[in-house]
Amino acid sequence: MKIGLVSDTCYPFPSGAAEYVYNLFLVLKKLGHEVRIVTSSYGYRTLQDSDIIRLGRTVLLPFNKAMVTLTFGTNLISELKRIFERERFDILHIQGPVGPTLPLLSLICSNTVTVGIFASYYERSRLLGLSRPLIRKYFHKLKGRICISMAAKKAISKYFDGDYTIIPQGIDLGRFSGSRDLPQFADGKLNILFVGRMEERKGLRYLIQAYSRVMSDVDGVRLLIVGDGPEKRRCLSIAEHVGGDIVFAGRSEFNLLPRYYRSSHIFCSPATGSEAQGIVLLEALASGTPVVASDIDGYNEVITEGSDGLLVPPKDPESLARGIVELCRNKDMRKRMASEGLKKAELYSWDRIGRALEAYYVGLLQ
C-alpha cells in the first residue's frame, strides 16, 4: 500500500504525537509499504527525509491545558490538493482529523480512503461544540476511525457518533530495553524520575511537594526532572523551597532519554487529567521501571494497580508521597512490578501495533 500520514507534529518537535507518527512511519515501511508524512514546516529541520513533505509554518498555541502545534499558510488547500493528486495514496491516515488547519484541511481535500485517529482526552471541548455543525459533513468522509484508548473514544464520542476501533499507540521496545545507566546517578541513591513537558496538566509541582515528604521518610533519594516548559520557573521556585537533591536535567537528547529511565528506580507521572494514554508510562514499563501515576482516565487503562504500578488520586501530594515511599521501602515490590511492566510493554510493541493497523487498512480497502 501507499500510505500518507498527516500530522501537525513530527520530529524534530518533541511530543507524544510526533513520537506516534514517526514510529508508525518506520514500522509501516518495515512492513514493506510506501509511506509519506505530510506535516508542518519547522524553523529548524533536524530531520531531513525525502519521505517527509513539509508545508506551511508551525505556530504553538495553548489548548486543552497544553501547548499544541498548528500549521498556517496562505496556500495550504492548494498545496494539499497538489500533494494528494501527485502521491495517489491508497490510505490517508490523519492524526486528529477534526483539529484545525492541517488535519481538517487534509480531510476536506482527501481523494482516497481516509482514516482518522483520535488521541486526545478532554471532559469537554468548546471548540468542537461550536464547530461540530460545520465539521459533521466532512467527518463522514472518514472511512475508518481509530482511538488510542477508551478515554479518547469517550472524548470524541460526545461530539461525533460512529464506530470506533481501539488501537493504542506503541512503544519502541528495543530503544528502552537495551539502554545503559547514566554513571552520574549510579551512586546508591534511589532515583525518582519525572519525564514530561512542564505545564499545568503534567502536575510536576505536586511531585516536588510530595518529594518533601518522601525525603523525611526515606534516606538517600533523588528527584530527576527531565523536560522543559512554561511552568519551569514555578517548579524551580517550589524546588528551592523544598530543598534536597533535585536535578533539573532539561530537555533530553533522543539517545539519552532511555538511559534516564534505566538509571531510575521509580517513575512518577502526577498528571492532573487530559491524558488519552500516556507515552511516558509505556516508556517506563519498557525500561523495567515501576510506576507511580495519577489515577485518571487514560492512565488507568495502561497501569494495573498493584501489578505494574501504583495509582494515586491526582493533585494529592500526600497520596503521591505515600505511593513513592511504599516503593522506596520495598525492593521486592519494585522488582516484581518491573517484571510485570516488561510483560505489559510487549502488548504495546510497535511491531504488534503496526500489524494491527496494517490489518485495519487492508480491511477498509477490501
Domain spans of the chain, in order of start: 2-170+349-365, 173-346
Query: What was the pLDDT predicted at 62?
Result: 66
| Cα three-residue angle 214-217-223, rounded to 5 degrees | 30
pLDDT at 298: 96
Beginning with the edge strand found earlier in the chain, give each strand of the sheet holding 34-40 in spatial order: 52-55, 34-40, 2-7, 91-95, 113-118, 144-147, 165-166
Walk along the chain (366 residues) in steps of 10 and give the mean pLDDT of each run. Answer: 92 75 94 95 62 85 66 90 97 94 95 96 88 92 97 96 95 88 95 95 97 96 95 96 96 92 97 93 96 97 97 98 98 98 97 98 96
Q: Do domains 2-170+349-365 and 173-346 have the same CATH topology?
A: yes
- Give the pLDDT score at 46: 46
Q: What is the pLDDT of residue 14?
A: 64
Fold of 173-346: Rossmann fold (3.40.50)
| pLDDT for 42 | 73
| Residue 21 near residue 104, CB atoms below 8 Å | no
pLDDT of residue 13: 64
Contact yes or no for 364/113 (Cβ under 8 A): yes
Domain 2-170+349-365 has CATH 3.40.50.2000: yes
Q: State the pTM of this model.
A: 0.92
